[in-house]
Amino acid sequence: MDTIELEPSEYEAAVERAQFREKTEPYAVSARYDRRLRRVLVELNTDLYVAFNPTAVQGLETATAADLAVIEISPSGFGLYFPAIDADVWLPGLLAGQFGSKNWMAGQLGKAGGKSRSAAKVAACRANGAKGGRPRKNARLAQSAFLRRTTLQLVKAPCRAMSS
């Protein structure tokens, strides 16, 4: 692992920021996975519990109950580590509603948008259905096979004419 060289003033500033964060922000004192609720439960130093659905968090979305059985808390209390799947969760980000990287979050929003049923989307579906709807997958495959055969015949045709 690479080490970072810090000037003494940078180190002191980092320690000061960490001490300030420890005094002002909640941190984890215990964490466990509840199989019945299917939630990760985190007890904070403020005597509050936070529960979250692991399928909504980047790195945990495909984890099984066995993968979530062991949770380690970082020394600062701001990180949760799931050793079975080598996944880390940053508690301050989680509490702020950030369940993954910006790209991952954007992808999740895109999935949700694709599943939405707005009035405009329903009307567009009905209009498309009135036109015959989306072609069936088998029909598209048959059409593409037909086009390939036709193209091959066109390419071969001049060769036959020249050989006679």
What digits encode the pLDDT tens for the residues 122-140?
787 778 777 776 666 665 6
Return the higher-pLDDT residue of 30 and 1.
Answer: 30
User: Any idea where the domains of the chain sit in the sequence?
Assistant: 8-100
CATH of domain 8-100: 3.30.2020.40
DSSP 28-74: EEEEEEETTTTEEEEEETTS-EEEE-GGGSTTTTT--TTTTS--EE-
Tens digits of residue pLDDT in 43-94: 988 888 988 888 888 888 889 999 999 999 998 888 899 999 998 888 888 8
Is 156's pLDDT higher than 50?
A: no
CA–CA distance, 139 with 110 (Å, rounded to integer) = 29
DSSP-based three-state secondary structure for 95: helix
* pLDDT at residue number 11: 84
